[in-house]
Amino acid sequence: MRLTRKRLCSFLIALYCLFSLYAAYHVFFGRRRGPPAASLRGLRKGAAAARERRGRGKQSTLGSEEWNPWEGDEKNEQQQRFKTSLQILNKSTKGKTDFHVQIWGKAAIGLYLWEHIFEGLLDPTDVTAQWREGNSVVGRTHYSFITGPAVVPGYFPIDVNNVVLILNGREKAKIFYATQWLLYAQNLVQTKKLQHLAVVLLGNEHCNNEWINQFLKRNGGFVELLFIIYDSPWVDDVDIFQWPLGVATYRNFPLVEPSWSMLHNERPYLCNFLGTVYENSSRQALMNILKQDGNDKLCWVSAREQWQPQETNESLKNYQDALLQSDLTLCPVGVNTECYRIYEACSYGSVPVVEDIMTAGSCGNTSVYHNAPLQLLKSMDAPFIFIKNWNELPAVLEKEKTLILQEKVQRRKMLLHWYQNFKRELKRKFTNILESSFLMNNKG
């Protein structure tokens, strides 16, 4: 009996020692694993917070497009952060991806590409940050995105062979900065630091984009692919492709998450138009037609005489409320037929009523391009209401009055479904074009 007790005590003492050793191992060695786990939790929290902000409609614009060198310490910090991020990312994706493309966002349309089409997140979420970055894997390809005032030529490391450069070429001042970026990229290609380059360009609203011709590979330059906004006659779907204007991210228009109420609630307004009315324009004719038969009382109408490049918090909220509370959104032409309003209406399930006429300039010739204007949207069967003259609007509104709520709900679902598929198809087409072009040239 005494022997049995001794054995039991010895066993308990041994068990206690083992437990002490196990606890000591976790105390002294387990801490080393702490920071990565904490970082992972932080990333998850950051992603969740970003999604929550999307639901609340808080999105960002790209910062200044001008070059903005900062103090030496800050530059070193940004470069070190970027290098560390790339090293971590390369380790995490090693063996999982065959292809790496980096996107340099130097125009606000870059945010539409990354956040709306790629559905990518940005770190930090602070929209005023000097440097923001994101990562996404599509198939076997890894895409990284960088943007912000601190993304300056020569002030960040080039660790990839394939780059998509997003530029603004709408007006003279923007073209100057876009040209500086292209000259920088040209030097990288010539010194073998960069192998392939594609450009996404916010083109001129009259389609006068001759300045970029010299940089295109078809003309002896180095830009292999060009994705251009507006109905450019250059589009051939070989090396030049049409790209959508998207929503006005530079005005803080958010990435909208559809809700049950957005789909099913009765909307108090038949239609809406909030915008600038230019003298002797079709917009002025639209205002006159709305006043007929009291239709302006049934629609949310707020006209101004002078265009404003930025929105206040109040004006942005009013605009979003108008889209959310209207069954139709009136989209008259401006300098170009394509406008942000079309895509913003789709975001809220408000059917765009589009003035389907060509504007002045060099954009798609209707004698050659039968779908012009808005060739991209029409080629993807956009479920919009197209009219040639605002005199057709009263009949459209009369028909709208006869629809019951159930019919409107089905139409909203169809519009939102189409818009989601539109963005998904653009992503598929964009990534396939890059991979097939860049990889094919690699083999060549």
Q: What is the 3-state secondary structure (H, E, C) of the chain?
A: CHHHHHHHHHHHHHHHHHHHHHHHHHHHCHHHHHHHHHHHHHHHHHHHHHHHHHHHCCCCCCCCCCCCCCCHHHHHHHHHHHHHHHHHHHHHHCCCCCEEEEEEECCCHHHHHHHHHCCCCCECCCCCCCCEEEEEEECCEEEEEEECCCCCCCCCCCCCCEEEEEEECCCHHHHHHHHHHHHHHHHHHHCCCCCEEEEEEECCCCCCCHHHHHHEHHHCCCECEEEEECCCCCCCCCCEEEECCCCCHHHCCCCCCCCHHHHHCCCCEEEEEEEECCCCCHHHHHHHHHHHHHHHHCCEEEEECCCCCCCCHHHHHHHHHHHHCEEEEEECCCCCCCCHHHHHHHHCCCEEEEECCCCCCCCCCCCCCCCCCCHHHHHCCCCCEEECCHHHHHHHHHHHHCCCHHHHHHHHHHHHHHHHHHHHHHHHHHHHHHHHHHHHHHHC
Max intra-chain CA distance, the chain? 111
Amino acid at 329: T
Cβ–Cβ < 8 Å for 316, 339: no
pLDDT at 294: 86
pLDDT at 31: 40
pLDDT at 191: 96
Distance CA 206, CA 336 (A): 7
pLDDT in tens, the chain (444 residues): 454 666 666 666 666 666 666 655 554 444 433 333 333 334 334 444 444 444 444 433 333 344 343 444 444 555 555 555 555 554 454 446 688 999 999 999 999 999 999 999 999 988 889 999 999 999 889 999 999 999 999 999 998 999 999 999 999 999 999 999 999 999 999 999 999 999 999 999 999 999 999 999 999 999 999 999 999 999 999 999 999 999 999 998 999 999 999 999 999 999 999 999 988 889 999 999 999 888 889 999 998 876 666 678 898 999 999 999 999 999 999 999 999 999 999 999 999 999 999 999 999 864 555 667 999 999 999 999 999 999 999 999 999 999 999 999 999 999 999 999 999 999 999 999 999 999 776 654
pLDDT at 443: 54
Cβ–Cβ < 8 Å for 144, 135: yes
> Fold match between 99-229 and 250-423?
yes
**Where do we find the tokens 């239609």?**
271
The CATH number of 99-229, from 3.40.50.880, 1.25.10.10, 3.40.50.300, 3.40.190.290, is 3.40.50.300
Distance CA 221, CA 182 (A): 10
Cβ–Cβ < 8 Å for 302, 333: no
pLDDT at 284: 92
Return the CATH class of domain 250-423. alpha beta
pLDDT at 440: 74
pLDDT at 343: 98
Cβ–Cβ < 8 Å for 168, 65: yes
Domain residue ranges in the chain: 99-229, 250-423
pLDDT at 364: 83
pLDDT at 59: 39
